[in-house]
Amino acid sequence: MAHTFRRATSSGAQYTGEMDFLLSDEQRAIRDTVKQFTDERIMPNAIENDQNHYLDMGVIEGMAELGLLGIVIPEEYGGAGLDYVAEALVCEEIERGENAFRTLISVHVGLNSLSILRYGSEEQKQRYLVPQARGEKLGCFGLTEPGAGSDVVAMRSTAVEQRGSYILNGQKTWISFAAVADTALVFAKTDPDAGHKGITAFLIELSSPGVTTRDIPGKLGAWAGSTGEIFMENVEVAAENVIGNVGQGFEIAMHSLDQGRFTVAAGGCGVIRACLEKSAAYAKERETFGQQIGKYQFVQDMIAQMVLGYETSKLLVLQAADMKNRGVRNSRETGLAKWHATEEAFKAADLAIQVHGAYGYSAEYGIERYFRNARAPILYEGTTQIHKMLQAEHALGYRQLNGRGGEMSPIVAWEQA
């Protein structure tokens, strides 16, 4: 089996053939360029920025210059027009350096821009998508509320139509880059009695009257990033800022999460790889009882587990990327990759601390930073428990496989009960 990747179309990627594991010259060049960027622009200050809770906007500007803030957006809308394997490679390299900047790709590209690309009008694409793809504006994603996380329909934000506009009221929480973004894709109930069919998606400018934002203090990790809240008090939003149709918000949110989860999974591969590479290097430097600690079977066992975690996670990410490049729905495969990669990233960070001993527990080597940062992805964009439930329901036949007429990954042989 073989494939080649080409430039993006309106769906974000153009694809011919089937998956193999050889990267194109273009994909290798992108990977190597972003690896160098991470080594030179992110890694030297990563520990210091983390300890100081400092978001380095200069790095974000550098990412924009490389085209990473529009990586899978077609060139006609200001993007780089690359495929999903390239996006996965970029997310892995970036999160190898710092979780906060991979998170930006997740929310700005995956959750926000790709939703505008699919559901937005041409006017919305020109007004919002183009500057976001160029990195001139930053977008975020407002779905989660204090009482509505996994249960999206429990949201309390409302949007009431009034003379050709909508008046939005509500609160969104745990919103990455809320305090620094220019626009937000937010969800509110236009018909509180219609369940998931009563939710509508809106694009709002965070400088609008009635909108306030603030950072959330006291987080376990992601100290070098921005995680905040959005408050909407009688915010007037023009009807032309509705994304898709009124009542289509739940569908749009689920599509958005499929895109974001993919980048989270790819970023998890970066955490595992960083922990593996740092642990292997340290195990060959550190000596006890007259030999390198890498000679001890207990240490080798931990290194081997990281190898397994990395390669299985990356295979699942590539499986999802293959389906995305073919333009077929991949909710099941993306969810599987997200669940596995985030859990393995946290395990790898825990093992890396053990390999490094007391040095792993201190900020000096930066290992504890990976441990703290790897915890949140297990929670957001679908908890591990939600993804386990979805995988079981697919297998049991309680849930349609990737929707009506959906298909499975071509490597899967098991049949739905």
Q: Are 206 and 241 contained in the same domain?
A: yes
Does the pLDDT of residue 62 top 50, yes or no? yes
Which of 91, 96, 136 shows the shortest CA–CA distance to 113?
136
Q: Are 110 and 10 contained in the same domain?
A: yes
φ, ψ (nearest 5 deg) of residue 189? -85, 120
Give the pLDDT confidence of 176-192 residue by residue, as tens digits: 999 999 999 999 999 99
The two three-digit tokens of residue 326, written as one number: 């073919």
The two three-digit tokens of residue 241, written as one number: 């800022």
Q: Are 267 and 392 contained in the same domain?
A: yes
* CATH code, domain with 194: 2.40.110.10
Domain extent for 48: 3-133
In a domain, 313, yes or no: yes
- Place 158 in a pLDDT band, splitting at 50, 70 and 90: very high
Q: Are 229 and 181 contained in the same domain?
A: yes
Q: Are 32 and 128 contained in the same domain?
A: yes
Of the candidate ranges 1-10, 135-144, 273-282, the one whose mean pLDDT is the lowest:
1-10
Provide the whole-model pTM: 0.93
φ, ψ (nearest 5 deg) of residue 172? -120, 140
The confidence score (pLDDT) of residue 191 equals 96
In a domain, 412, yes or no: no
Instruction: Give the chain's domain count.
Output: 3
Residues with a catalytic annotation lie at: 381
**End position of a domain, from candidates 102, 133, 164:** 133
**How many CB atoms are located within 10 Å of the residue 246 CB?**
17
CB 210 within 8 A of CB 167: no
Please report, as a single letter, which amino acid is at residue 210. G
CB 203 within 8 A of CB 154: no
| Coil, strand or helix at 254 | helix
Does the pLDDT of residue 268 top 60, yes or no? yes
Percent pLDDT > 70 in the chain is 95
- Place 9 in a pLDDT band, splitting at 50, 70 and 90: very low
Q: Are 169 and 120 contained in the same domain?
A: no
The confidence score (pLDDT) of residue 10 equals 41
Query: Which run of H or E residues covers position 57?
Result: helix 57-65
**End position of a domain, from candidates 249, 281, 302:** 249
Averaged pLDDT score across all residues of the chain: 94
The span from the CA of 57 to the CA of 390, in Å, is 37
Q: Are 310 and 217 contained in the same domain?
A: no
Q: What average pLDDT does this structure show over 77-85? A: 97
Give the pLDDT confidence of 20-46 residue by residue, as tens digits: 688 999 999 999 999 999 999 999 999
* CATH code, domain with 378: 1.20.140.10
Q: Are 180 and 271 contained in the same domain?
A: no
**End position of a domain, from candidates 215, 249, 283:** 249
- Place 408 in a pLDDT band, splitting at 50, 70 and 90: confident
**How many CB atoms are located within 10 Å of the residue 411 CB?**
11
Does the pLDDT of residue 140 top 50, yes or no? yes
In a domain, 151, yes or no: yes
Q: Are 121 and 145 contained in the same domain?
A: no
155, 69, 262, 409 alpha-carbon torsion, rounded to 10°? 130
The confidence score (pLDDT) of residue 196 equals 94
In a domain, 416, yes or no: no
In a domain, 407, yes or no: no
The confidence score (pLDDT) of residue 128 equals 98
Burial bucket for residue 232 (CB in 10 Å: 0-12, 13-18, 19+): buried
In a domain, 206, yes or no: yes
Q: Are 278 and 206 contained in the same domain?
A: no
In a domain, 232, yes or no: yes
Q: Are 15 and 124 contained in the same domain?
A: yes
Q: What average pLDDT does this structure show over 354-371? A: 96
The confidence score (pLDDT) of residue 18 equals 58
In a domain, 409, yes or no: no
Q: Are 22 and 50 contained in the same domain?
A: yes
The confidence score (pLDDT) of residue 19 equals 63
